[in-house]
């Protein structure tokens, strides 16, 4: 999973890599499935979501993105 978090943008590599290293094991099955879906999104989408410039329409994806953002702020 760590390898799949490697993106074309350093910022995304850092945020997603830290999240996987620290929080992946604490995710439930549903959150893990949503995280796998998140990894199929484009870099511009992920960057906009994780920087707070936009929000995913999907409720579960939105909740996970917010969780990742909070975890990254508390690093």
Count of C-beta atoms within a 10 Å radius of residue 14:
14
The rounded radius of gyration (Å) of the Cα atoms in the chain is 11
Domains and CATH numbers, the chain: 3-73 (1.10.150.250)
Structure token pair of residue 16: 């997603």
Closest to 64 in 3D by CA, of 16, 9, 7, 11: 16
Closest to 21 in 3D by CA, of 36, 4, 46, 2: 2
Contact indicator for 52, 15 with CB cutoff of 8 Å: no
**pLDDT tens digit at each of 75 positions of the chain:** 666 777 888 999 999 999 999 999 999 999 999 999 999 999 999 999 999 999 999 999 999 999 999 999 987
């Amino acid at each position: 999973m760590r390898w799949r978090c490697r993106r074309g943008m350093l910022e995304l590599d850092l945020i997603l890599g830290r999240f996987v290293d620290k929080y992946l094991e604490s995710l439930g099955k549903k959150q893990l499935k949503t995280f796998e879906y998140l990894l199929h999104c484009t870099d511009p989408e992920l960057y906009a979501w994780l920087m707070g410039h936009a929000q995913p329409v999907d409720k579960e994806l939105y909740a996970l993105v917010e969780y990742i953002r909070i975890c990254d702020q508390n690093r």
